[in-house]
């Protein structure tokens, strides 16, 4: 597909696995009538489009030669840009950035202007970050209307609803980051905003932590709340109690995370342009209002040669990648003029990495070791330094970014600098699948899993580096691979030598302290921030999470996100009136056992669209017209989704046949929320359980009002009291099956990702 005169270019074929090709076909390749773009044509399209920027700076530039260089880096999987660039470079949309930060001003006009811009960004395929810290707290006066403000948390729901409604070109799903300063008077409402898991489902939340707050946490003192409207003191809270509550809620469900705002602004390379208030949705890119992030990642697995890091080859790729990303800024079609202007003013890029776990195992180094931490610092310092050298070289040719000040970090020592920031460690969920690499700087989630194939057969999918090592060391066997697929790790597999059990360690085998240490090691030499999930096993304590938070602060991280296995609640909490007295009688009746099933029943089947595919709910009635049993069948997801749906049907049937009224069952099922929804507004199906509840409600034609959790706490102490009560009897579930292919979902880099088909909840 090379143009006339370019036959000597683009000769190498892409080095892709079958799984990589599948993901590209499903999510990236363009279609034009009967023709579907090939992977090679995709890389040529992107390379040629991004190389066109060369002519803007040098009329005599050999654009095709530069495009060939870019092509070879991508086709060899040494470097890949972020997904929007792969999808959109060279097409009509030409929106190449993954994420943006928008200001939210303290006025109705400013708020809804931000909502409008959010819709435009999501339509173009980007994600958005916001600070709601400028908004006056609830009950504060609004002089223009003589009324009172409803507060930032209430307005966040407007942004959430807009995100839920927008389809991102059919290819990417909207994601948001919401940040509130810890000294905002509504901070406790914000901290508790996602305790009800059906709320703000399109948001990640992080508390903006200040240095005075952390000092108060350590000495147990109170800290001041400040009115964003007047900057006057608006109350005080005990810092330790607020911190403990953040930790407790993160332990329970992952939100909120924290970002250290003062630390971020201490390293702001353009302080004259304003204060950094927010980050992009996954937290790794602190940005000024109206800035965008232009990201790409180097695949470290491609830079191990003869058992050592190939530093010379890595330097070459770093410099090509910096040139590529600077060109992206020129070729980008930004959603609104303000973003165009601000991005070109500071020209921030974010060069990161993937394949870190792969590099470690190729070098025979355990992830949770001092040797790995030392290498992490060495690798990232090398990438940062060589990246800065290239940015300075580009500045000599093209000019420094307009706000360049050689006295300000990180530009010290350079007479010119093209880009305000160079390095970011971003999530690489889908592009790491294309590259056949481990995600970002994360350890392996699992070494093997079962892949569903035709006729309900399951085949073990095993990490290729493990297979290679097992064969080389003589401990490979089909039986071992099958055991590995069942276990996911080598922990209880004595067939694997101890050395390789250490090297091939997985995320949940690693103590959280090592996750934090690894994040801090990379942060030390990263201009922006680091996307990293600190994984905890399901039995981790609240104190374990607290220790990780404090360690992240002490080691210099710019934020932290944790995930405790199975901690995503499957059900809306219900606090309200007790059930009617007659339920006690029904429960007593249940002890006598279920009724026998008649040989003939009549009923109907209701089709429900869910995030896991179409679900068919069959509801049968007995001869008295009472609902007697429920059967469920789900479409393409299979595996875990089907088994869970079948279990729900069986338990409902058991409850019905023992005399429990269907209204009570509907009440329990409706509103249960998972990470995959379907539909919009009042027609949203929050989960498979929610779908069954709604189908059952339709069948009995008896609408039921059910109570969702309300939180009106005004003090930290009252929240703590409520939270202690609510911990009793909670049930947690793991991430479940991919809604598109039924494969296992991995919670990594703050997002749910399927490595079987490339599905990502964040994109």
Pick 260 or 163 by higher pLDDT.
260
Judge whether 256 and 194 are in contact, CB under 8 Å.
yes
Q: What is the pLDDT of residues 491-504, one digit of tens each?
A: 889 999 999 999 99
For the CA atoms of 57, 411, 260, 119, the dihedral, rounded to the nearest 10 degrees, stands at -10
Residue 322 pLDDT class (50, 70, 90 cuts): very high
- pLDDT tens-place string over residues 273-298: 999 999 999 999 999 999 998 999 99
pLDDT at 710 over 60: no
Q: In terms of pLDDT, which residue wins out, 9 or 711?
A: 9
Residue-wise pLDDT tens digits, 625-644:
778 888 887 855 455 677 77
161 with 188: CB under 8 angstroms? Answer: no
User: If pLDDT is split at 50, 70 and 90, which confidence band does 587 have?
Assistant: very low
List all residues 6 or more positions away from 538 whose beta carbon is below 8 Å from its beta carbon.
Answer: 564, 565, 566, 567, 732
User: Is the per-residue pLDDT at 169 higher than 80?
Assistant: no
Give the model's pLDDT for residue 635. 59
More confident residue, 126 or 365: 365
pLDDT of res. 681: 54
In three-state secondary structure terms, 223 is strand
**Mean pLDDT throughout 403-415?**
83
**Range from 93-102, 159-168, 568-577 that averages highest in pLDDT:** 93-102
pLDDT in tens, 63-99: 999 999 999 999 999 999 999 999 999 999 999 999 9
221 — pLDDT class (breaks 50, 70, 90): very high
Can you give the pLDDT at residue 540? 94
Provide CB contacts within 8 A for 230, sequence distance 6+.
Answer: none
Mean residue pLDDT across the chain? 85
- Start-to-end Cα distance in the chain: 29
Nearest Cα residue to 266 out of 209, 313, 310, 224:
209
**What span, in angstroms and rounded, lies between the C-alpha atoms of 147 and 143?**
7
pLDDT at 676 over 50: yes
One-letter-per-residue 3-state SS of 590-617? HCCCCCCCCCCCEEEEEEEEECCEEEEE
pLDDT for residue 652 is more than 70: yes
Over the stretch 25-68, which tens digit does the pLDDT of each residue have? 988 999 888 889 999 999 999 999 999 999 999 999 999 999 99
Q: Give the pLDDT of residue 576.
A: 28
Whether this prediction's pTM lies above 0.85 is answered by no
CB-CB contact of 249 with 495 (8 Å): no
> HSE-up of 308 (CA within 13 Å, CB side)?
5
CA distance 313 to 330: 27
Question: What residue ranges define each of the domains in the chain, with the CATH number in brackets?
Answer: 99-287 (3.20.70.20), 446-505 (no CATH), 596-706 (3.90.1010)
Active site residues: 280, 282, 284
∠ Cα 538 255 553 (to 5°): 90
């Amino acid at each position: 597909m090379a143009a006339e005169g370019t036959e000597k270019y683009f000769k190498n074929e892409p080095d892709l696995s079958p799984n990589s090709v599948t993901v590209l076909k499903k999510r990236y390749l363009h279609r034009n009538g009967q023709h579907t773009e090939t992977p090679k044509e995709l890389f040529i399209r992107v390379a040629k489009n991004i190389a066109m920027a060369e002519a803007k700076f040098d009329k005599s530039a050999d654009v095709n030669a530069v495009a060939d260089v870019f092509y070879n880096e991508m086709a060899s999987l040494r470097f890949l840009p972020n997904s929007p660039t792969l999808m959109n470079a060279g097409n009509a949309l030409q929106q190449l950035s993954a994420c943006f930060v928008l200001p939210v001003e303290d006025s109705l006009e400013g708020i809804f202007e931000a909502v409008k811009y959010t819709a435009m960004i999501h339509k173009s395929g980007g994600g958005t970050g916001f600070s709601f810290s400028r908004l006056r707290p609830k009950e504060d006066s609004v002089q223009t209307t003589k009324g009172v403000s409803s507060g930032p948390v209430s307005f966040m729901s407007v942004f959430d609803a807009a995100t839920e409604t927008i389809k991102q070109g059919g290819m990417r799903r909207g994601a948001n980051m919401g940040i509130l300063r810890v000294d905002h008077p509504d901070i406790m409402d914000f901290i508790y905003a996602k305790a009800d898991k059906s709320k703000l489902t399109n948001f990640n939340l992080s508390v903006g932590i200040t240095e005075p707050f952390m000092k108060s946490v350590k000495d147990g003192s109170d800290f001041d709340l400040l009115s964003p409207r007047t900057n006057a003191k608006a109350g005080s809270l005990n810092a330790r109690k607020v911190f403990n509550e953040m930790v407790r809620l993160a332990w329970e469900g992952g939100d909120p995370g924290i970002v250290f705002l003062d630390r971020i602004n201490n390293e702001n390379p353009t302080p004259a342009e304003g204060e950094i208030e927010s980050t992009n949705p996954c937290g790794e890119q602190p940005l000024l209002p109206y800035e965008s992030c232009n990201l790409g990642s180097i695949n470290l697995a491609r830079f191990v040669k003869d058992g050592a890091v190939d530093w010379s080859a890595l330097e070459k790729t770093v410099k090509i990648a910096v040139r590529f990303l600077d060109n992206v800024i020129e070729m980008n079609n930004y959603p609104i003029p303000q973003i165009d202007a601000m991005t070109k003013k500071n020209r921030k890029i974010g060069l990161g990495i993937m394949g870190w776990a792969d590099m470690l195992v190729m070098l025979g180094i355990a992830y949770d070791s001092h040797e790995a931490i030392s290498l992490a610092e060495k690798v990232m310092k090398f990438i940062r330094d060589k990246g800065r050298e290239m940015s300075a070289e580009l500045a000599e040719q093209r000019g420094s970014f307009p706000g360049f000040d050689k006295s300000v970090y990180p530009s010290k020592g350079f007479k010119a600098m093209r880009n305000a920031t160079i390095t970011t460690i971003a999530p690489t969920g889908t592009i790491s699948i294309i590259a056949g690499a481990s995600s970002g700087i994360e350890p392996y989630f699992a070494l093997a899993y079962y892949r569903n194939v035709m006729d309900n057969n399951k085949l073990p999918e095993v990490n290729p580096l493990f297979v290679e090592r097992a064969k080389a060391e003589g401990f490979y066997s089909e039986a071992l691979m099958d055991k590995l697929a069942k276990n996911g790790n080598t922990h209880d597999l004595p067939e694997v030598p101890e050395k390789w059990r250490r090297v091939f360690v997985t995320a949940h085998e690693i103590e959280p302290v090592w996750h934090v240490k690894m994040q801090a090691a990379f942060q030390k030499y990263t201009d922006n921030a680091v996307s990293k999930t600190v994984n905890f096993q399901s039995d981790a304590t609240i104190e374990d999470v607290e220790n990780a938070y404090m360690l992240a602060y002490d080691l210099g991280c710019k934020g932290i996100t944790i995930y405790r296995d199975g901690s995503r609640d499957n059900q809306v909490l219900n606090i309200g009136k007790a059930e009617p007295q007659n339920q006690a009688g029904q429960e007593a009746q249940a002890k006598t056992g279920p009724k026998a099933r008649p040989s003939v029943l009549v009923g109907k089947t209701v089709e429900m669209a869910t995030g896991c595919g179409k679900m068919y709910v069959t509801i049968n009635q007995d001869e008295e017209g009472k609902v007697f049993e429920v059967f469920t069948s789900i479409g393409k997801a299979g595996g875990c989704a089907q088994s869970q749906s079948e279990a729900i049907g069986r338990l409902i049937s058991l409850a019905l046949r023992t005399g429990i009224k269907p209204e009570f069952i509907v009440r329990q099922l409706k509103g249960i929320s998972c990470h995959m929804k379907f539909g919009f507004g009042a027609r949203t199906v929050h989960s498979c359980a929610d779908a069954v509840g709604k189908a059952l409600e339709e069948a009995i034609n008896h609408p039921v009002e059910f109570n969702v959790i309300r939180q009106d706490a005004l003090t930290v102490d009252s929240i703590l009291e409520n939270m202690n009560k609510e911990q009793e009897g909670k049930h947690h579930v793991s991430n479940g099956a991919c809604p598109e292919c039924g494969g296992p979902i991995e919670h990594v880099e703050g997002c749910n990702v399927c490595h079987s088909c490339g599905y990502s909840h964040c994109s």
